[in-house]
């Protein structure tokens, strides 16, 4: 039987131990692995592996010894409780070795959980599970998690139900990160809040969210956007000594000012525009960018983007002879002076 994307999360959280098995397949190996972990943990419990009620069978070993799966299905463990035979990274080529063992399955045998990559609709493995009256096939798509799934991850981490504004930030974060990264971030956030009884806020999320590469350049970009021209020289020397490439700095500055421009163009105001950004902007950094967008306005931001575009073209020009970092520094000083007008 097929598990629809709508019904699959509920089944993964509470699978039926009387089923023959479950096939989980999809392009994203991380998403498939997370779902497989969830299902197996729900079937055998936290002590299942220690009590030897979980048998792992890599695809390579099954290819060499097809009897392994049938032995794992029929074996009786020393400890009481449900058992799982887990076949990892199965391929269509293994269908001929897997299907006979599943055909011999009887009630009381170990449930079979199989993970695989993308499988075509004509796949024998997929068609077997989709047409089997006592087994499920679940496709995992590369889609952002839904609201209910995000709330379940947050609740599992022990954070409780956050307020509406904070929940919106967490939802945006979940949709900008890989599922595994988001779960780790929630665990980190839960540890961060130990001993702190205050409600979860945007500053807490900002402190625990993964730091992007662009965040290293935030200091110089904020100095420029806030018109602090006198501070540009010293920080540029520090960036140069760290090996930052002029083109990288120019691209980062262009991205920053384009974000400000997009926010300033939002008909509901800069704050609403910043709130729509992906990846999301949190806490004090969001407030700072809102103030920058409001202070510059659309007209001056268009001029700033023109300066940066011209600088980028100069850097890439074959006839360019001036030091590249000096060109970028001059452009940033021009922008800082423009911010003060």
The CATH number for 222's domain is 1.20.272.10
Same domain, 133 and 200: no
Let me know: does 251 contact 312? Beta carbons within 8 Å. yes
Residues 171, 287 share a domain: no
Q: What is the pLDDT of residues 242-296, one digit of tens each?
A: 777 888 889 989 989 999 999 999 888 888 888 888 777 776 778 888 999 998 9
Going by the DSSP 8-state scheme, the letter that residue 65 receives in this structure is: -
Tell me the residue range of the domain where 157 lies: 147-208
262 and 201 assigned to the same domain = no
**31 and 130 fall within a common domain:** yes
**Residue 42 in this model has a pLDDT that exceeds 90:** yes
Q: Which of 139, 164, 195 is the last residue of a domain?
A: 139
Q: How many domains does the chain contain in total? A: 3
Q: What is the pTM of this model?
A: 0.59
Most confident of 107-111, 178-182, 218-222, 322-326: 107-111
Task: Kindly state whether residues 195 and 224 are assigned to the same domain.
Answer: no
Tokens matching residue 339: 């911010």
Spatial neighbors of 99 by CB under 8 A, at least 6 apart, are 124, 125, 128
The model's pLDDT over 288-318, given as tens digits with 9 standing for 90+, comes to 889 999 989 899 999 999 999 999 998 888 7
Three-state secondary structure along 124-185?
A: HHHHHHHHCCCEEEEECCCCCCCHHHHHHHHHHHCCCCCCHHHHHHHHHHHCCCCHHHHHHH
Q: Which of 120, 139, 158 corresponds to the end of one domain?
A: 139
Q: Does residue 212 register a pLDDT over 60?
A: no
139, 166, 190 — which closes off a domain? 139
């Amino acid at each position: 039987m097929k598990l629809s994307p709508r019904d699959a999360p509920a089944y993964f959280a509470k699978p039926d131990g009387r089923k023959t098995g479950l096939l989980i397949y999809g392009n994203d190996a991380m998403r498939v692995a997370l779902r497989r972990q969830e299902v197996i943990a729900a079937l055998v419990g936290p002590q299942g592996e220690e009590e030897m009620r979980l048998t792992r069978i890599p695809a390579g070993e099954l290819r060499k010894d097809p009897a392994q799966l049938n032995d794992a299905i029929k074996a009786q463990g020393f400890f009481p409780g449900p058992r799982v035979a887990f076949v990892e990274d199965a391929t269509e080529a293994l269908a001929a070795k897997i299907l006979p063992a599943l055909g011999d399955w009887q009630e009381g045998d170990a449930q079979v959980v199989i993970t695989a990559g993308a499988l075509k609709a004509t796949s024998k493995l997929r068609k077997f599970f989709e047409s089997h009256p006592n087994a499920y096939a679940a496709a995992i798509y590369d889609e952002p998690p839904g609201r209910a799934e995000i709330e379940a991850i947050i609740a599992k981490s022990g954070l409780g139900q956050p307020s509406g504004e904070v929940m919106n930030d967490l939802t945006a974060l979940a949709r900008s990160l890989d599922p595994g990264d988001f779960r780790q971030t929630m665990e980190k956030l839960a540890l961060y809040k130990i001993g702190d009884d205050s409600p979860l806020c945007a500053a807490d999320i900002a402190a625990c969210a993964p730091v992007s590469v662009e965040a290293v350049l935030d200091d110089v970009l904020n100095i420029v956007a806030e018109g602090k021209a006198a501070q540009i020289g010293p920080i540029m020397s520090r960036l140069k000594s760290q090996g930052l490439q002029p083109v990288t700095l120019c691209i980062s500055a262009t991205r920053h000012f384009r974000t400000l421009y997009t926010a300033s163009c939002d008909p509901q105001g800069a704050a609403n525009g910043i709130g729509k950004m992906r990846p999301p902007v949190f806490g004090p950094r969001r407030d700072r960018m809102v103030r920058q967008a409001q202070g510059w306005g659309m007209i001056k931001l268009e001029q700033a983007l023109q300066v940066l575009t011209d600088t980028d073209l100069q850097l890439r020009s074959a006839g360019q002879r001036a030091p590249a970092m000096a060109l970028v520094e001059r452009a940033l000083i021009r922008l800082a002076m423009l911010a003060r007008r």
